[in-house]
Amino acid sequence: MTRLSHRRFLHAALAVFAGVLLGACGKQPEPAKAPKAEPPNAQAPAPAPAKVYVVGIDAAYAPFESQNEKGEIVGFSVDLMRALAAKAGMEVKFVNTPWEGIFNALAQGDRDLLISSIGITAERRQTINFSDPYFDAHQLIVVPEKSKVAKFDDLKKLKVGVQTGTTGDEVVSRLLGKTNTNIKRFELWPLALKELELGGVDAVVADNGVIVYYVANNKDSGFRMVSDPAFTPEQYGIAVKKGNAELLAKINKALAEIRADGTYDKIYAQYFGAKPSPVKPEQPKT
């Protein structure tokens, strides 16, 4: 190779090397991938729905709890519970629950609350917790107009109708004996009244609220009411599962608030008049 050729060769090689070097130096790194954009309508997860408290109620005890012509559960107990729920910020759902299974439904957790004209008794307190009382009650006797019954003791030798498992059942059982065949027990209290109308029983014993309401709204029934000082005063309470202190506190706080602001009085007056009025014993007609 001549000197000239060698020089040209060197120039050409340097040119190629420089090109390769410049190409390598000029290569740019790939841009980092941008984070994936959220869809334009993406939203935060929806909050969990508010708890709906299931309220057990035996809708066969007017005017406290019954069903209207549309099948809706209505009455004093319903209006009261709705007012309490509004104060406590709770959502409630009423479920018609037969009386004979109502306490078991609460114990099993199928119901969160019970409001069904439930008398507060020492025996019931052993298995459930009660709210503060919301209604004062006592037993009354309903008999045909011509009956000679003037006091509770007059029922000792008569056939008496009661609703099974109620405080009326309890007081009659103490008077006649729990297994006495003269006690006729009915699943629903109106069935006891129907039996009285048909002559199958001589008297019916039940809470004053339902008897007063029935007699006042059935003037042609031919029934009259008999009161007796021997009947122990009773009070109704809202029942919650044993040990549910948080829910019980909510109910009691709301109950105190609706008493204080006049809501309770308005609901009471709608069904029973401005003030509770004691029922005086009536003398039998001769």
In the chain, where are the structural domains located?
52-136+235-272, 139-226
pLDDT, tens digit (0-9, with 9 covering 90-100), for 236-255: 999 999 999 999 999 999 99
State the SS3 of 114-168: ECCCCECCHHHHCCEEECCCCEEECEEEEEECCCCCCCHHHHCCCCEEEECCCHH
Domain 52-136+235-272, CATH among 3.30.230.70, 3.40.190.10, 1.10.150.120, 3.10.28.10: 3.40.190.10
pLDDT tens digits, one per residue of 43-59: 666 666 779 999 999 99
Note the pTM of the prediction, 2 decimals. 0.73
- Would the CATH topology of 52-136+235-272 be identical to that of 139-226? yes
Q: Is the dihedral of CA 261, 264, 270, 276 positive or negative?
A: negative
CATH class of 139-226: alpha beta
Amino acid at 247: L
Q: Please, what sign has the CA dihedral across residues 219, 283, 274, 75?
A: negative
Question: Tokens at residue 102, please?
Answer: 């109502």
Structure tokens at 146: 């011509």
Q: Report the pLDDT value the prediction gives residue 42, as an integer from 0 to 100.
A: 57
The reported pLDDT for the residue numbered 118 is: 96
**Which pLDDT value is given to residue 50?**
79
What pLDDT does 34 receive? 55
Q: How far apart are CA 148 and CA 36, in angstroms?
A: 90
pLDDT at 48: 65
Tell me how far apart the alpha carbons of residues 185 and 225 are, in angstroms, rounded to a whole number.
Answer: 20
Q: Name 142's bridge partners.
A: 204, 225
pLDDT beneath 50: ranges in the chain: 1-7, 9-27, 276-286
Query: Does 45 sit behind a cis peptide bond, omega within 30 degrees of 0 on the bond before it?
Result: no
